[in-house]
Structure 1
Amino acid sequence: MYKNILLATDGSENARRAADEAAGFARILSSHVILVYIIQTPPSQSRMVQANFDVHSLLIEDAKSRINDIITIFEQGDLSYTLKVAIGDPSTEIIGIAEREKTDLIIIGSRGLGTIKGVFLGSVSQKVTYHAKCPVMIVK
């Protein structure tokens, strides 16, 4: 059923609740979870120079510091997961990773923009739901 689950996370409270749902699926269904953390702005030049322009390691470092509590859920539960990071528009990157990884389900937290803001700005969860080729679960 859901063997390969993508959990899009930004470290927020809604993302934490989404992580709990993903962990529950992983535990019951023996699913593999792909934790996805998207950074919208690249690391500073000085950080890139210090890291010998290894941008991927900087992104991993930033993701681990921002979503450490979510990673802990999977490590303490002895659940199968991998961490994927990217730079760019979150909805575009999430959909791209989901397609490349052939995920069966995307789980994402609701941002809670409100009706008026949501109409004008949209939200990552709305965009992912509209464009994804697999089922999407939005967790409030």
Structure 2
Amino acid sequence: GMGMGGMGMMRVPAERQLKLKVTTVCLEHGKADPSPRVAYKMIPAEQFTQDARVLEVCRLLGYSRMTQNVAQAAAWHLTDGLAWIELRNKVKSENPMTRQVTMWFHPQELLQASYVVASTNHLNNETSTSAVGKSDSSYETN
């Protein structure tokens, strides 16, 4: 290494490929889930969005300041305008035999995501034209 003490620095020659396991979030609700059989190109988040709130969510996730599910709920709320009630009712899977339903998000994750969104609202001067207004940043558990 370069004496960075495990700070994520590495050298990969240009002609080599590297497999990395990274924690990510989907920034486009409704697209198909990623597949390990498909090669993906990583791009800086700034090439996808200029929304400072979304960039902050991605940054915090990258530094392990929140779980992937909390970041995902915040991201879909910010990028796709999904209301907290929609996220609360979002079904991840249903067992066809038992009809047992698995939800995407636990209520506590949505509460944490709403705090994240509220704490990032100051980063974006255009909250009035964004998918989320100031009055919609809080999640209630009832």
* TM-score normalised by length of structure 1: 0.29
Higher relative contact order (CA 8 A, sep 6+): 1
Between Structure 1 and Structure 2, which shows a larger proportion of strand residues? 1
Which structure has the larger Rg over C-alpha atoms?
A: 2
- TM-score of the superposed pair, with normalisation by structure 2: 0.29
Higher helix share: 1
